[in-house]
Amino acid sequence: MERDKIAFVGRSNVGKSSTIRALTGVKVRVGKKPGTTVRPNLVPHGRYTILDLPGFGFMGREEQEAVKDYIVRRLEEGRDIAFAVEVVDARDFVEIALRWEARGQIPVEVELYHFLNELGLNPIVVANKIDKIPGGARDEILDAICTYLGLAPPWQGWRAVIVPFSAKTREGLRELKTLIQERARAKG
């Protein structure tokens, strides 16, 4: 099967569907509450199809595991996926990661990033909701996200991987589009 899909993955409510809307103009459902996307949406994007997956990390333990299993299986078995886009909430990421670390656990978004790399899905990291962070604090937060992902700061050295973005203001849209085009070209 041809690898013609771009998988959008990430925690619930980080803005995966909103990012896809900004990117394509297709009005996939977005919502204030986590758990908006329940079944995967398929959105045409040039010669690719974007796969808008449900988010994880908000419900009870069992449902949480079920969603995670589904996503993991979809990514592992999906010979149709060319590469992945991991969307994170730039402001919440570090706070949540600190909590996980304090419990002695690897933050789930860090785990996901490594998993996507292991699968050869070369994830682009979208640091979404950047509009919520005052200009003066952005570099520090982006550096912290990079550090968690194992990318030595400064973040500006990783512009081929991470992109500060706002689905709300569309800041970073051009950069995100360029990154996606470059990934697509690299995957041939």
Ligand X SMILES: Nc1nc2c(ncn2[C@@H]2O[C@H](COP(=O)(O)OP(=O)(O)OP(=O)(O)O)[C@@H](O)[C@H]2O)c(=O)[nH]1
Q: How many residues form the binding site for Mg ion (CB under 5 A)?
A: 4
Supply 141's token pair.
Answer: 């937060």
- Name the E strands within the chain: 5-9, 41-45, 48-52, 81-89, 124-128, 162-164
Contact 98, 58 (CB under 8 A): no
- Cα separations in angstroms, 91 against 64, 82, 103, 137, 186: 22, 28, 20, 10, 30
58 and 38 Cβ atoms separated by less than 8 Å:
no
**CB 74 to Mg ion: min, Å:** 15
CA 29 from centroid of its chain's CA atoms: 17
Give strand ranges (E) for 33-169.
41-45, 48-52, 81-89, 124-128, 162-164
Of these partners, Mg ion, ligand X, none, which one is at the site of residue 15 (CB under 5 to 8 Å by kind)?
Answer: ligand X
* From candidates 37, 85, 90, 164, binder to Mg ion by CB under 5 A: 37
CB-nearest residue to Mg ion: 37
Of the candidates 36, 49, 64, 122, which one interacts with Mg ion according to CB under 5 A?
Answer: 36
Among positions 16-35, residues that touch Mg ion (CB under 5 A) are 16-17
Considering the complex, state which of residue 173 and residue 184 has its C-beta at the smaller distance from ligand X.
173
Q: Which stretch binds Mg ion (CB under 5 A): 37-45, 96-104, 124-132, 174-182?
A: 37-45
Which CB, 80 or 171, lies closer to ligand X? Answer: 171
Q: How far is the CB of 80 from Mg ion (least distance, A)?
A: 20
Taking the complex as a whole, how short is the minimal distance between the CB of residue 60 and ligand X, in angstroms? Answer: 15
Q: Which does 168 bind (CB under 5 to 8 A by kind): ligand X, Mg ion, none?
A: ligand X
Q: Which residues bind ligand X (CB under 6 A)?
A: 12-18, 30-32, 34-37, 54-55, 128-129, 131-132, 166-168
How far apart are the C-alpha atoms of 128 and 142, rounded to whole Å? 11
Dist CA 164 CA 168 (whole Å): 12
* Shortest spacing between CB 18 and ligand X, in angstroms: 3
Which residues sit at the interface with Mg ion, rule CB under 5 A? Answer: 16-17, 36-37
